[in-house]
């Protein structure tokens, strides 16, 4: 933790979705404010994905404890998209209640102000990982420093803020001029927030994950793998395979034979024994995992026809590579 935090009377935590440490270091010249801040890299959680990491940031718990163990996870026979909180049957808020699925209160139960997009206030994922927070929504990123300044003037000791522009641009456009322009804008946002800090206040900047350029390098699971698989969950770079009854051993063998050249192939038991999801994983949470994990170590993603979105992703995340796992933890004092 940067030293400035210890003496702070007020703290603003700004989570910049998708701001990986490696990507930031490669473009320090575009982000002078971030480059000048105190601090360095830390690791995010596994899988390196928004649904899991934001919940760990808010609760202080490893994924195996809070239970949101991926972007898509199996809950009672259905695959729940955690960010959209839906299944193949549609909206799942009634059948898979957010507070029961993730039962831990964020921020030690304190009703902290949450400075996030206004349209996220009523979402089920917000109910799952930020419930009890006081929504202070923004509709334009330029409002973020204004809202934060007002909260600090009111004496708030801790403010949580979230910005998703870097992640969205990387997913849709990849690395290049669009990404560079967004990084410049994000750095300006950080500078604007730092500028409104009163004496004794500290701004902390971190992220949930980095990114890897995948583009069209999609891998179709081998037919032998699919024959032993009843469904898939997770995401392209951390794909869970769920075995047909009695086929878990065959599924692991087929996945290792055909995909070990591009992925770490692990059984659920190996993942849990090696502590990927933390030291404690309850049986109900373990049941949300598949039987075999395909965790990409090359710049590829594993295809699942049920895993769809509004556009094809260019950059992705979820795996355990340095580009995805290392994120900044930076501080600036008022």
pLDDT in tens, 288-297: 999 999 999 9
Distance from chain centroid for Cα 17: 7
Of 138, 189, 135, which is closest to residue 14 (Cα–Cα)? 189
Residues 287 and 329 placed together within one structural domain of the fold: no
Strands 263-267 and 292-296: antiparallel
Does 285 lie in the same domain as 248? Answer: yes
Say if residue 19 is in the same domain as residue 160: yes
Going by pLDDT thresholds of 50, 70 and 90, the confidence category of residue 11 is very high
If asked whether residues 224 and 187 sit together in one domain, one would say no
Per-residue pLDDT, averaged over 154-171, amounts to 98
Q: What is the pLDDT of residues 102-115, one digit of tens each?
A: 999 999 999 999 99
DSSP annotation of 138: B
Q: 213: which strand partners?
A: 315
CATH number of the domain to which 226 belongs: 3.30.1360.180
Rounded Cα distance between 157 and 199, Å, is: 13
Q: How many domains does the chain have?
A: 2
Find out whether 282 and 269 touch, Cβ atoms under 8 Å. Answer: no
**Average confidence score pLDDT of the chain:** 97
Q: Tell me, what's the pLDDT at 4?
A: 77
pTM value is 0.96
Residues 90 and 102 in one domain: yes
The domain in which residue 16 lies consists of 3-213+319-333
**Who's near 298: CB < 8 A, 6+ residues apart?**
217, 261, 262, 263
**328 and 282 fall within a common domain:** no
Sorting pLDDT into bands at 50, 70 and 90, what band is 310?
confident
Task: Looking at the structure, tell me whether residues 187 and 50 fall in a common domain.
Answer: yes
My answer on whether 73 and 168 are in the same domain is: yes
The strand pairing partners of 242, in sequence order, are: 231
| CA–CA distance, 122 with 97 (Å, rounded to integer) | 14
DSSP code, position 206: E
212-213 vs 315-316, strand pairing mode? antiparallel
Residue 248 and residue 291 in contact, taking contact as beta carbons nearer than 8 Å: yes
Q: Helix, strand, coil % (nearest 5) of the chain?
A: 35, 25, 40
pLDDT at 284: 95
CB neighbour class for 199 (10 Å; exposed up to 12, middle 13-18, buried from 19): exposed
- Are 189 and 147 found together in one domain? yes
Q: Specify the pLDDT at position 2.
A: 76
Same domain (yes/no): 96, 209: yes
H/E segment holding residue 186: helix 177-195
Residues 83 and 189 in one domain: yes
Question: DSSP letters of 291-332?
Answer: SEEEEE-SS-EE--TT---SS--SEE-BS-SHHHHEEEEEEE
| Cβ partners under 8 Å of residue 138, min gap 6 | 115, 116, 117, 118, 144, 147
Q: Which CATH number fits the domain that encloses residue 148?
A: 3.40.720.10
Tokens of 50: 């928004």
Q: Which residue has the tokens 């509709």?
A: 139
Q: From the CB of residue 95, how many other CB atoms can be counted at a distance below 10 Å?
A: 13
Does residue 174 sit in the same domain as residue 236? no
């Amino acid at each position: 933790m940067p030293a400035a935090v210890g003496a702070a009377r007020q703290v603003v935590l700004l989570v910049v979705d998708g701001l990986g440490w490696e990507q930031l270091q490669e473009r320090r010249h575009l982000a002078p404010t971030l480059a000048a801040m105190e601090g360095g890299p830390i690791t995010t959680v596994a899988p390196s994905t928004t649904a899991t990491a934001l919940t760990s940031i808010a609760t202080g718990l490893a994924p195996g404890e809070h239970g949101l163990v991926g972007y898509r996870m199996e809950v009672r026979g259905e695959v729940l998209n955690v960010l959209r909180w839906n299944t193949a049957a549609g909206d799942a808020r009634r059948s898979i209640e957010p507070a029961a699925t993730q039962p831990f209160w964020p921020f030690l139960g304190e009703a902290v102000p949450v400075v996030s997009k206004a349209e996220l206030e009523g979402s089920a994922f917000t109910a799952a990982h930020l419930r009890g927070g006081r929504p202070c929504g923004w509709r334009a990123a330029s409002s973020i420093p204004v809202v934060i300044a007002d909260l600090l003037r009111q004496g708030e000791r801790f403010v949580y803020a979230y910005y998703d522009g870097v992640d969205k641009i990387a997913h849709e456009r990849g690395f290049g001029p669009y990404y560079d322009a967004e990084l410049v804008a994000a750095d300006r946002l950080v500078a604007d927030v730092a500028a409104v800090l009163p004496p004794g206040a500290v701004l902390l900047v971190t992220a949930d994950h980095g990114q890897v350029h995948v583009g069209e390098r999609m891998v179709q699971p081998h037919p032998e793998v699919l024959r032993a698989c009843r469904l898939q969950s997770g995401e392209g770079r951390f794909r869970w395979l769920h075995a047909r009854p009695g086929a878990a051993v065959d599924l692991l063998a087929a996945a290792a034979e055909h995909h070990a050249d591009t992925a770490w192939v692990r059984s659920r038991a190996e993942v849990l024994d090696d502590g990927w999801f933390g030291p404690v994983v309850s049986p109900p949470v373990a049941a949300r995992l598949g039987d075999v994990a395909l965790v990409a170590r090359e710049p590829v993603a594993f295809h699942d026809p049920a895993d769809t979105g509004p556009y094809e992703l260019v950059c992705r995340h979820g795996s355990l590579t340095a580009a995805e796992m290392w994120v900044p933890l930076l501080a600036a004092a008022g």
